[in-house]
Structure 1
Amino acid sequence: MRIALIVPGGVDRSGRERVIPALLALIERLARRHSVFVVALEQEPAPSTYALLGAQVVNLGRGQSRLPGFGYWQRLRQTLAALDAYGGADVLHAFWLGAASTLALGVGRWRRLPVVASIGGGELVWLPEIGYGGAASWRHRQQVRLALHGAQVITGGSRYVLTPVLPTRPDARWIPLGVDAAFYRGDRAEAERQPGPPWRLLHAASINRVKDQSTLLHALRLVADHEKSVHLDWFGEDTLGGAMSSFARDLDLAAHVTFHGVQPADVLAPYFRQAHLYVQSSRHESQGVAVCEAAAAGAPTVGTAVGLVAELAPQAAWAAPVGDAAGLAAGILTLLRDPDQRARRGRAAQTWAQTFDADWTAAAFEAIYREVIG
Structure 2
Amino acid sequence: MLKASYPVRVVATGGGPTGNFGQRLSLVHSILSGVLRTDIVFAWFAHNHSYLAVMAVRLLRKKSLVVVGGYEVANEPEIGYGALLDPAMAGKVRYIIENADCILAVSEFSRREILAVAEPRRIETIYNGIDTSLFSPEGSKENIVLTVCLVSTANIRVKGLDTFMDAARQIPEARFVLISRALDGALEILKRDAPANVEFVGAVGQAELIGWYRRAKVYCQLSYRESFGVALAEAMSCECVPVVTDRGALPEVAGDTGFVVPYADTHVTADAISQALVADTGSAARKRICELFSREQREQELRRIIATLQL
Q: Describe how 1:1-374 pairs up with structure 2 within 5 A.
A: 29-42=1-14, 62-65=18-21, 71=24, 75-82=27-34, 88-167=37-116, 168-169=118-119, 171-185=122-136, 189-191=137-139, 193-194=140-141, 196=142, 199-208=143-152, 209=155, 210-224=158-172, 228=173, 230-241=174-185, 243-251=186-194, 253=195, 255-337=196-278, 342-344=279-281, 346-355=282-291, 356-374=293-311
Q: Residue type matched to 1:347 in 2? A: S
Does the CA contact (< 8 Å) of 2:107 and 2:127 recur in 1? Answer: yes
Extract unaligned runs of 5+ from structure 1.
1-28, 44-59
Partner-residue secondary structure (3-state), 1:259: strand
Aligned equivalents of 1:219 and 1:75: distance in 2? 45
Post-superposition Cα deviations, 1:279-315, rounded to whole Å, max 9, x if no partner, equal 1111111111001101111112101123432214451
* Alignment check: 8 A CA contact 1:175 1:361 kept: yes
Shift of 1:83: 5.5
**Range with greater deviation from structure 2 (263-272 or 231-240):** 231-240
Structure 1 position 82, deviation (Å): 4.5
Which deviations, in whole Å up to 9, do the C-alpha atoms of 1:69-119 show, x marking residues without a partner? x94x753322233465xxx22211111111232132033124322111111
Q: 8 Å contact 2:150–2:183 — kept in the other structure?
A: yes
The answer (yes or no) to whether the contact 1:215–1:323 under 8 Å persists in 2 is yes
Q: Could you tell me whether the CA contact under 8 Å between 1:288 and 1:307 is conserved in 2?
A: no
- Contact 2:9/2:34, CA 8 A, preserved across alignment: no
- Partner of 2:128, secondary structure, is coil
Alpha-carbon offset, residue 361 of structure 1: 0.8
Aligned-residue CA RMSD (Å)? 2.4
Aligned equivalents of 1:280 and 1:322: distance in 2? Answer: 10
**CA 1:100/1:264 → structure 2, altered by over 3 Å: closer, same or farther?**
farther
Cα distance between partner residues in 2 of 1:311 and 1:220: 25
Quick one: which amino acid aligns to residue 180 of structure 1? D
Contact 1:119–1:286 (8 Å) recurs in 2: no
Kindly provide the CA deviation profile for residues 305-346 of structure 1, in whole angstroms up to 9, marking residues without a partner as x.
234322144512321122222222121011213xxxx322x2
1:136 Cα deviation from its structure 2 partner: 0.8
Q: More displaced, 257-266 or 360-369? A: 257-266
In the superposition, relative to structure 1, how do residues 75 and 314 fare at CA in structure 2: closer, same or farther (>3 Å)?
Answer: closer
Unaligned runs of 5+ in 2: none
CA distance in 1 between partners of 2:71 and 2:33 (Å): 31
Code of the residue aligned with 1:64 in structure 2: it is: N
Q: CA deviation at 1:61?
A: 8.2
Task: Give the number of equivalent residue pairs.
Answer: 304
CA 32–330 in structure 1, closer or farther in 2 if over 3 Å, else same: same
CA distance in 2, matches of 1:240, 1:105: 34
* C-alpha distance in structure 2 between counterparts of 1:348 and 1:169, whole Å: 37
Which one-letter code corresponds to 1:32 in the other structure?
A
| Structure 1 position 245, deviation (Å) | 4.4
Shift of 1:166: 2.7
Corresponding residue SS for 2:2: helix
Letter in 1 for 2:10: V
Q: Secondary structure at the match of 2:182?
A: coil
Q: Are 1:134 and 1:141, in contact at CA under 8 Å, matched by a contact in 2?
A: yes
Q: Separation in 2 of the partners of 1:101 and 1:37? A: 15
Contact 2:135 2:210 survives alignment (8 Å): yes
CA distance in 2, matches of 1:349, 1:157: 19
Q: Is the 8 A contact 1:90 1:113 kept in 2?
A: yes
